[in-house]
Amino acid sequence: MAMKIAFIGLGNMGGGMAANLAKAGHEVRAFDLSEAALAAAKEKGCEAFTSASEACKGVDAVVSMLPNGGIVKAVYTGDVIGHAPEGAVLIDCSTIDVSTAREVAEAAAAAGYPMVDAPVSGGIAAADAGTLTFMVGGSDEGFKRAEEVLKHMGKAVIHAGDAGNGQAAKICNNMLLAVQMIGTAEAFAMAQKLGLDPQTFYDISSVSSGQCWSMTSYCPVPGVGPTSPSDNDYQGGFATGLMLKDLKLAMEAAETAGMNTRIGAKAKELYEAFDADGNGARDFSAIITEYD
């Protein structure tokens, strides 16, 4: 059934996501501070609005993809709650801290809105292709209603539990990804130092106990494995700055939970140094260049 959906935040991820909702036949009411992003969304079948609150009027659902928790809180408390019809399902796909996700969900529930946090995995290519994975935190009712929207933008929609658990799943997943990528980069660099050809090492390790996604799907060595950002001078993909943001969120959550994440903390330290050297816009797999 076609729905009327407000989409707030049309950046690298949100633009493709909104376009897929329009492609699926929904009426997408789009808002972004960028005029260029709005124009691009309009070309993809969305209707452009000059304010988030106007975009939310009369909708069945609101989807957002925003930079941080402060902006998410400001948008929902100032432009969504009280402007979208009571009962509309609210879906925040941003990656933010767990405590803010839960705080905003509580405010939404108090005002009569089911709300879920639904951060994504998959990157820009998956957002454009509609093959994202959504990790969803919220009530059973909220998840059921959100799933009807999210399924048009992803290949998997998974209920992670109560409000905030989607964010918890995302930051734990990305902490693991950062650790895997650093280990993969270090192993390839060491193999080369020992005189082992990268392709030969890949052929061996990719079918051995060292196999992981960072090796077989996203290899940091150019020309080895499936095409990845390493084959494009580490452009596109998942920026180092975004990985560092997720690692910082993970460390904040770990502190709140009283968890000593020794390896996660080291990954954050290494990506902080890499980012500080001017690599924030490069794909996170470019950390292998630190071993040159």
With beta carbons less than 8 A apart as the criterion, state whether 133 and 160 touch. no
Spatial CB neighbours of 237, under 8 Å, sequence gap ≥ 6: 123, 124, 125, 218, 228, 229, 283, 284, 285
170 is catalytic: yes
**Phi and psi dihedrals of 47, rounded to 5?**
-100, 130
Q: How far apart are CA 157 and CA 145, in angstroms?
A: 12
Q: How far apart are CA 42 and CA 247, in angstroms?
A: 34
* Catalytic residue selected from 57, 155, 170, 248: 170
What's the full length of the chain, in residues? 292
SS3 232: helix
- Give the residue among 123, 127, 158 at the shortest CA–CA distance from 143: 158
What angle do the packed helices 165-193 and 262-274 form, to 10 degrees?
70
**Largest CA-CA distance found in the chain, in angstroms, rounded:** 65
Residues with a known catalytic role? 170
